Structure 1
Amino acid sequence: MAAPVTASGAPAREKRNRERIRPSWRGWLLRLLLTAASGYVFYLSFAPRPLWWLAPLAFAGFGLALRGRRLWGGLGYGFVFGLAMYLPLLIWLQDFLGADFGPWPWLALSATLAAYLGVGGALCTLVARLPGAPAWMALVIIATETPRTWWPLGGFPWGRVAFSQPEGAFLSLASIGGAPLVGFAVVLSGFGLAALLTRLNRQRHTLIAPAAATLVPVLAGLAAWPTIATAAEGGTLTVATVQGNAPNVGLALLNESATLRTNHLRQSEQLAAEIRAGAQPEPDLVIWPETATDSFGRADPVLNQAVADLGAPTLVGARFRPPGGQAQNVEIVWDPQTGPGARYAKQQLVPFAEFVPARAIAEWVTPFVDDTSDMLPGSAPSVLDVAGTRVATPICYEIAYDYVSRDAVDNGAQLIVLPTNNAWFGKSEMSYQQLAMARLRAVEHSRAVVVSATSGVSAMIAPDGTITASTSEFTAASLVGRVPLRDTTTLSDRLGAWTEYGLVSAALAGVLIGLGYGRRTRRASADDTRATGAE
């Protein structure tokens, strides 16, 4: 028979309960603050700050916060980590949309992307007790990057771990396994450091595995750097960019097509004058940025004359509107003698800017839906023959997607050109974030990259990711320089998407093993409890 609870015993029991609750509450709050701080530190690792080394430290903090958590706790902490990173990373959406939209698109996109890290945090709790836990946890986090390049609305790869690494120890790994391997190495190093910190008071032999997880990715990246070559293999090309500038008006740029065209014609005239005067070398190829003009599929005497004055084949970024056809975002090969020729049409269109998904629903929250017609996506690889060279021409947003540049290089591209129009996003970090992606692609494919932007930042990037020349934002300027043409096929190119598929498959295997391990652990615990009760 149970002993009765006396009045004098109740206060003592309540005191013990309060003592148990207080440290639990305090621990939860500290973990929450650590998670949020770690997410913000992760944001700080992205361009324009050259703080790539903060990324593994951010995941070390996140790993400490996840230690000992269960599924729902991991989900919550992962979401907070993602939200603390994405909210500041994507603030440029406010520059684009302006005050009329309010913060809701920015908040909704940030929360959607953070949810993927929430799922990653939850799944990390399933693999955290497996041998080699830091590796399994890193696989899980990187695996969540794959579905968010697909969904929702065609995906949004911004903020991938690898894009925080345009320089530093890990970047060289892009030539081996592309963005997925770079991201895995960063996260593994961070989770390894977290495991190492939790074992510092234990015996030395228990430190070997977490120390290896921390250091091996860094050492592997450093060891790979001597294999990163920059020398020309197929000659060199003198390339010029035309940055005509644009008004800093955000979404109102929709009504400034004539201004963009005038500005780029004016800057082309200035560049042609400098070439004639000998102040600039004669280019082999000139690049206009994305949507710098409208093209209607017919003769354009003014643009013909501008290209003829430059005296070199020109890649013209245009909004192509054929008579009776659907508009496309294209790069057109414009010859000084024969005019417009082959063109590449952007494949990966931007939702709510170049096409409107779920238009009937979008009308509730998007006031310009009626004025926005859907563009027609292209289907051919982003590669064009110009100036005697095979040139990859991913357009703007496409640089964030692995397949676009990879398919072009697989089709023989010796140089990557990135035409972009970032004037929409004001003087924000967006242009620098995109530039960091271009630097990663340079190493991934062992190709020079030339960025041509309407309002900056235009840049020339060596095959090792080094920026050799660049412009400022919201200025009219041109860059002229020689770039190497390369034919090397990196291991990353040869492996293609199989690196990503392999990492995702390993992550799924780890989660399944973790689920089985958890069931066995709970069953063994229940058996022990029953055995103790029987005694």
Structure 2
Amino acid sequence: MLTRTAVRRSWRSPALAAAGGGALALAFPPAGLWPLAALGPALLVLAVSGRRPRAAFALGTLFGLTFFGPLLWWLSNLGLLPWIGLTVVQALFIGVHGVVIRALLRLRWWPVAVAASWVAIEALRGRFPLGGFPWGRLGFSQTDAPSLQWASVGGVPLLSLLAALTGSALAWTLLTGPRRRTALVAVLGTGLVWMGGGLLPAPPSSDRDLTIAVVQGNVPRGRTLAEQVRVRQVTQNHAEATLRLAEDVRAGRVPAPDLVVWPENSTDTDPRGNPVIAETIRSAVQAIDRPVLIGAIVRQDGRMFNVGQLWLPDRGAVAEYAKRQLVPFGEYVPGRSLFRWVQQLQYIPRDFSPGSGDGTLDAGGTRIGDVICYEVAYDGLVRSSVEAGAALLVVQTNNATYMLDGQRGETLQQLDMARVRAVEHNRPAVVASTTGISAVVRPDGSIAAMTEPWTQQVLVERVNLRTTTSVWLSPWVELFAVLLVVAGLGAAVVGRRLRRADEPAALR
């Protein structure tokens, strides 16, 4: 018969795991309570401490469900199946993480090893399966924290490491007993480092500014997913907003932009095969008399690409970048024949093909790095554009599908990613969205201007272009974390075997 104490203990660990996942979800938008990025990992450590591997896996999975479920609720706009499926897959990674944490807790230096394991598991799920899903990394929750400036040193991996290390130190304080004073000092020290990003010296500015116009043309709100697929008004909306911008420039109400940016899918067809659409775009470009980066769907050699397409006055489309990292079940369907029964997939009748290149385009003498929607979550893709000389990061996105019921979670989470990228690479960033939220982000991650969702707006802002790069230690931070976890797991296994060898045979 279970005692009252045993019953309380049997419920304590699941409660800690569920609370930890929920707390971590609140660290991200729309709540944005960034200190909870340390509390969530701390509660997971407390939940799996002293539990068997199978229980640690179950507790980690529970943590993952209560984290990714709320974080990705916006995906339910596509139906419950995509939301549940992605939530479960990502939660299983945290289940494995629970087992890893449980093993690392045997080490004397487990707070460091456990913090590194957060970076390692984020690296794993950011690559597998199907190219990975790097959404919900601890570092992406830190845009309003003093720690944000650490991104200029070690990118998202370092931000994640510092948040997790603070959480590990907090858990250590609660688990150490007699050494609690030492652990408390460790918590304070780690917390000071975490918060110390604001003390880092600001990167130098340059003597070159650029005036950017971001056009948010909007689409009719409240349309079903099926109706959105049939909409052809989007191009006209963006063209009309650009024509009004040209009138405002001529009237002296706003400064003339050097570059105009439209969002992803601002025309959902190939302008080269549609004379009416092509003329609509050409008229807008001629009126503003500046380079305009649009979003288009291009068909070439029997394949379909999601592209950022650069138009110049009097020349038309002169260059394009095709999206490299496609969204599984959004832009292509892996194993399509296995999912014919999923009704929503009728809206993806053909698979897109991935592009190549480094994402850079030359817009009137300014090298821009085009990042299309989902790609902003991937460290390597953004880095490749900056390494190729991009002085400005442009994130073209279409969030209408995930905002049908008024949710802002997805678009705010994506905006936070762009803010981290701006700091990470010491570049201004522009987010252009069909329905919002569009924004202009300074190199320090602060927002110069942003739109309201479901409105037609044009932002005109002057940004300082940067040519110097940040430290770029992020790949090394990630590699260090993975090697540290592997070494820690090896040490834990060896230590367990040595302890078993020292036990009297009668006690085994």
1:64 matched to 2:42? The reply is: no
1:365 matched to 2:342? The reply is: yes
Secondary structure of the 1:319 match is strand
Confirm or deny: 8 A CA contact 2:148 2:197 kept in the other structure. Answer: no
State the partner residue of 1:4. Answer: none
Confirm or deny: 8 A CA contact 1:229 1:446 kept in the other structure. Answer: no
State the partner residue of 1:295. Answer: 270
Match among 34, 40, 53 for residue 16 of structure 2: 34
State the TM-score, normalizing by the size of structure 2: 0.94
1:86-485 alignment, distance < 5 Å: 86-95=68-77, 97=78, 101=79, 103-199=80-176, 201-203=177-179, 207-209=181-183, 211-212=185-186, 214-227=187-200, 229=202, 232-233=205-206, 235-248=208-221, 249=223, 251-252=225-226, 254-293=228-267, 294-297=269-272, 300-322=278-300, 324-369=301-346, 372-426=349-403, 427-428=406-407, 429-485=409-465
CA distance in 2: counterparts of 1:230 and 1:456, whole angstroms: 30
State the partner residue of 1:14. Answer: none
Return 121-130 or 221-230, whichever deviates more.
221-230
Confirm or deny: 8 A CA contact 2:236 2:280 kept in the other structure. Answer: no
CA distance in 2: counterparts of 1:355 and 1:30, whole angstroms: 43
Deviation at 1:197, TM superposition (A): 2.1
Deviations 1:77-101 (A, max 9, x none): 1111111011111111112x1xxx4
Secondary structure of the 1:463 match is coil
State the partner residue of 1:5. Answer: none
**Distance change (3 Å), C-alpha of 1:56 and 1:355:** same
Return 117-126 or 514-523, whichever deviates more.
514-523
Structure 2 unmatched ranges of 5 or more: none
Deviation at 1:49, TM superposition (A): 2.6
Deviations 1:312-365 (A, max 9, x none): 11111111224x531111111110121111111100001112111001112132
Deviation at 1:503, TM superposition (A): 1.2
- Structure number with greater Rg is 1
State the TM-score, normalizing by the size of structure 1: 0.89
Confirm or deny: 8 A CA contact 2:428 2:465 kept in the other structure. Answer: yes
Instruction: Quote the RMSD (CA, aligned, Å).
Output: 1.9
CA distance in 1: counterparts of 2:419 and 2:201, whole angstroms: 13
CA distance in 1: counterparts of 2:227 and 2:324, whole angstroms: 22
1:507 matched to 2:507? The reply is: no
Confirm or deny: 8 A CA contact 2:226 2:347 kept in the other structure. Answer: no
Secondary structure of the 1:64 match is helix
CA distance in 2: counterparts of 1:183 and 1:252, whole angstroms: 38
Structure 1 unmatched ranges of 5 or more: 1-16, 531-535
Deviation at 1:188, TM superposition (A): 1.0
Residue 265 of structure 2 aligns to which amino acid in structure 1?
T
Confirm or deny: 8 A CA contact 2:332 2:348 kept in the other structure. Answer: no
Q: How many residues get paired?
A: 500
Deviation at 1:422, TM superposition (A): 0.4
Deviations 1:11-40 (A, max 9, x none): xxxxxx543xx4223202022112111110
